[in-house]
Amino acid sequence: MSYIIEIKHITKEFKVLNRHEGLKGSLKDLFSRDYRIVRAVDDISMNIAQGEIVGYLGPNGAGKSTTIKMMTGILQPSSGEIVVNGQIPYKNRTRNAKEIGVVFGQRSQLWWSLPLVESFKLLRDIYEVPEAEYRAMLDLYRSLVDIESLLHKPVRQMSLGQRTLSDILAAFLHNPKIVFLDEPTIGLDVSMKAKIRTLIHALNREKQTTVILTTHDMGDVDALCRRIVIIDKGKMLYDNDIEHLKRFFGSYRTLKIRMDGDLQQSAEAIAQQMPEFRVSADTDWISVLVDEEQASVMAVLARLQERYRIRDMQLEEISTEAVIKKIYEEGTQ
């Protein structure tokens, strides 16, 4: 199988000047050779197939944006190899540019003073998109989001959300093989986030566009990504299906029940009855964290029903948010 992106053991180091304080210090800096090496990306390898949506996650400063910059060709890896579309991005920056789309959240790439539709037309000419394809793409956009109201608005008059939406549409306009989205939903409200997720999902499905997405919003991940890659301090922590990740942490589910009487007392009683599970209570619910390797949720529920009159119940999957948080905190060891 051939991949659209192949990354082999890339590392990126930045040389940062150790700055001194004060006026005398800045004079010293002028001639200083006192550098410190920051390793932003440390031996990362991955292969990405055409049509995948990959969530690229990691805490702040993990090295996500740096990796994306290397994939788009504006940064050269210190060592290792990247092949995107059969080319080395850094060496063929302009040629690579034709096959990719890039969105950096909160940083518009559109012509600031032009109405959106004029920006689209310019992009059509720059990327040499045939007229028929351009029209088909606009029709597709119309069917997915309401762009009529945006088309004649200058970009500088748009809200952040409208601008991000426009930028995403612009990135897909020339039907690139890969689209890189670096925090596309940052700073957006719930409904705009949902709109953008639907849009990305539909475009990926329609055009088989490969999407690499970084985000801190697990809602994006749940809505879009089957596969996730997690890095921290430049090092790869995880690369697999999101389902696999949850199982990897034990197949926990939370059973929540409601009953009459004092919940706190009942919870203590249940904890004694089932010492293998963690039991807690708040004002409305008693929660039992069930490890499904040991007993099925149904069996636990049956045992509880023998003793208590259960008035209501809920089942909660462990959230991506919780899993990712756990990984950020303790790694996968």
Nearer CB in complex with another protein: 72/254: 72
Structure tokens at 209: 């566009």
Binding partner selected for residue 266 from Mg ion, another protein, ligand ATP, none, CB under the kind-specific 5 to 8 Å limit: none
Question: What is the rounded CA–CA span in Å between residue 293 and residue 49?
Answer: 33
CA distance 158 to 166: 9
Closer by beta carbon to another protein, 44 or else 102? 102
Residue 212: beta bridge partners?
54, 180
Exactly one of 28, 39, 51, 122 binds another protein (CB under 8 A); that residue is 122
Q: By the criterion CB under 6 A, which residues form the site for ligand ATP? A: 14, 16, 38, 40, 58, 60-66
Q: Are 80 and 7 in contact (CB under 8 A)?
A: yes
Which of positions 224-263 make contact with another protein (CB under 8 A)? none
Residue 48 binding: pick among ligand ATP, Mg ion, another protein, none (C-beta 5-8 Å cut-off by kind): none
List, in sequence order, the alpha helices (H) in the chain.
22-31, 64-72, 93-99, 116-126, 131-144, 148-151, 160-172, 190-207, 218-224, 242-248, 263-273, 297-307, 320-330
- Binding partner at 62 among ligand ATP, Mg ion, another protein, none, C-beta below 5 to 8 Å by kind: ligand ATP
* Cα dihedral 297→259→289→278 (10° resolution): -130
Which residue type does 249 have? F
Spatial CA neighbour of 71 closest among 182, 168, 183, 165: 182
Q: Which does residue 85 bind out of ligand ATP, another protein, Mg ion, none, counting CB within 5 to 8 angstroms by kind?
A: none
Q: Of the listed pieces 124-132, 221-229, 284-292, 312-320, which binds another protein according to CB under 8 A?
A: 124-132
Stretch that binds another protein, among 107-115, 132-140, 197-205, 239-247 (CB under 8 A): 107-115
Sole window of 93-101, 133-141, 218-226, 287-295 interacting with another protein (rule: CB under 8 A): 93-101
> Least CB distance from residue 240 to another protein, whole Å?
27
65 binds Mg ion (CB under 5 A): yes
For 231, phi then psi, to 5°, come to: -125, 155
Among 20, 28, 98, 303, binds another protein (CB under 8 A): 98
- Residue of 207, 210, 3, 178 whose CA lies nearest to 98: 178
**Minimum distance of another protein from residue 98's CB (angstroms):** 4
Which backbone phi and psi does 35 adopt, to 5 degrees?
A: -100, 155
Q: Report the C-alpha gap between 168 and 109 in whole angstroms.
A: 10
Shortest separation between residue 302's beta carbon and ligand ATP, angstroms = 45
Is residue 13 involved in binding another protein (CB under 8 A)? no
Q: What are phi and psi of 39, to 5 degrees?
A: -95, 100
The minimum distance between CB 56 and ligand ATP, in angstroms, equals 9
* Binding segment (CB under 5 A) for Mg ion, from list 57-65, 82-90, 167-175, 273-281: 57-65
Smallest separation (angstroms) from Mg ion to the CB of 105: 9
When binding is defined by CB under 8 A, the residue of 56, 66, 137, 252 that contacts another protein is 66
12 with 66: CB under 8 angstroms?
yes
Residues in the site for another protein, rule: CB under 8 A?
65-66, 69, 72-75, 93-95, 97-98, 100, 102, 104, 107-109, 111, 113-114, 118, 121-122, 125-127, 154, 182
